Amino acid sequence: MPSVLEELQHAGKSAEIWWDSSPLDFPRWCDHHLATAPDQDTRERWQEQLNRFLCPATPERSLVRGITTNPSLVAQSVLASPESWRNDIQELIRYQLTPDVESTFSLVYEEALRRAAREMLPMWEASDGKFGWVSGQLDPRHMLNADLMLEQALRIARISPNLMVKVPGTKQGYEVVRQLVARGISINSTLSYTVPQFAACAEAVESGLKRAHDQGIDTGRWRAVFTHMIGRFGANNDLRYEAAIREIELSQTDLRWAEVAILKRIHTLIQENDHPIKPLLSSLEVDDPAQGSSTLSMHLEQSAGGAVAYTCKPQFIADVMRREHELPSFDTRAIEQEVPANVLEKLMWLPSFHRAYDPAGMHPEEFAHYGSFISTYAEVMANTRKLIDFVAHQFQTITTSAQPLLLT
């Protein structure tokens, strides 16, 4: 029996399923998820589906085509297996001539990316660079500093040929995108929620590609994806606040339509202008019948048939598998369906939606001030600090002095 995500891929020949975590975490998650099966038949069905889900060594069997990571996911992966990382981190500390927390944190982060990329390299090689990409995100503390982001991006790109640099959707980030693409380096534009961000990304990509071609740079294996953090857009409390102030009733389904509307407009712009970018949906959510939803996941059902990639959190996959009986079938032309006119008219009264939906709704300087961006940034920073503290703790484990902590 095909899974929901297999059916989604079949609905659109250009659709791709990605795994939103380290591939090294997949076996542990599988064991945990299978242990929650309500009966033996369900467990066997889930096992069959998961056996086809992520198979880097046999790419022809694998549903998953790529991997996304970010500082939060790397931190969670490391902190979920502290024993396996503790000795490695202490060895990295001893390896350095003048070790400090900051340099060791960078080495740990790059090692996590290296391990993930190594796992997916067979798929990348077998597909001649089409699949098997691993996204490695830049340090969130440097989102407004193009020079520091570019420096780290070039280091990440050198780690493995299948590492795609994940660049934040700030004004400075799009300048880094331009420079990376000009070097033939694959990119993933992240922390993105709006059509103006996509417009800035598309301009940077097109400009970078022109420079690369003018300089004779090989872009045969180059790829670009634009991460639309779709579930985080509707979770932005600014939308509910603005609706309440204007006495506009905003249901959970209306919020889903707001998220889907952004995607549909981006997808249309890509198709109309032949942009060499694929939208990558992240922060996918299932819908709650208790809140009036009649769908399993509007994110999936309203994007079916499109040239779209979906990076799926482990929890999202688990939720979809548990509720797979609720999905009738995918409409292979769903991506072309328009948002209901009455819903779109209602949403356009909300400044946060209007600014996000209009390609000229924001200046690049405003991207980092948008509500969804700020809330995501705070979460990523918190998880980054946890990983830095884990590294700092290893310093304290192997020394009787706190002095190394002051050398960052």
In this prediction, residue 407 has a pLDDT band, given cuts at 50, 70 and 90, of very low
Average pLDDT over residues 76-96: 88
- Supply the pLDDT for residue 401: 56
Instruction: Report the distance separating Cα 297 and Cα 4, nearest Å.
Output: 11
Q: Which two tokens stand for residue 179?
A: 């420079």
List the alpha helices (DSSP H) in 140-194. 146-159, 171-182
CATH placement of domain 4-407: 3.20.20.70
Q: In this predicted model, what pLDDT tens digit does every residue of 244-294 receive, in sequence order?
A: 999 999 999 999 999 999 999 999 999 999 999 999 999 999 999 998 888
Q: In this predicted model, what pLDDT tens digit does every residue of 311-333 receive, in sequence order?
A: 999 999 999 999 999 988 999 99
Average pLDDT over residues 67-89: 90
Average pLDDT over residues 206-231: 98
Q: In this predicted model, what pLDDT tens digit does every residue of 339-365 receive, in sequence order?
A: 999 999 999 999 999 999 999 999 999
In this prediction, residue 403 has a pLDDT band, given cuts at 50, 70 and 90, of low
- DSSP of 44-107, one letter per residue? HHHHHHHHTT--TTSGGG-SEEEEE--HHHHHHHHHHSHHHHHHHHHHHHHHSSS--HHHHHHH
- Supply the pLDDT for residue 351: 98
Average pLDDT over residues 289-313: 96
In the predicted model, is pLDDT for residue 402 greater than 60? no
Instruction: Report the distance separating Cα 293 and Cα 266, nearest Å.
Output: 24
In this prediction, residue 408 has a pLDDT band, given cuts at 50, 70 and 90, of very low
- Determine what percent of the chain falls in helix, strand and coil, rounding each to the nearest 5: 60, 10, 30
- Supply the pLDDT for residue 405: 54
- DSSP of 321-357, one letter per residue? HHTGGG-----TTGGGSPPPHHHHHHHTTSHHHHHHH
In this prediction, residue 49 has a pLDDT band, given cuts at 50, 70 and 90, of very high
Neighbours of 246 (CB within 10 A): 12
Single-letter residue type at 186:
S
Q: In this predicted model, what pLDDT tens digit does every residue of 332-342 receive, in sequence order?
A: 999 999 999 99
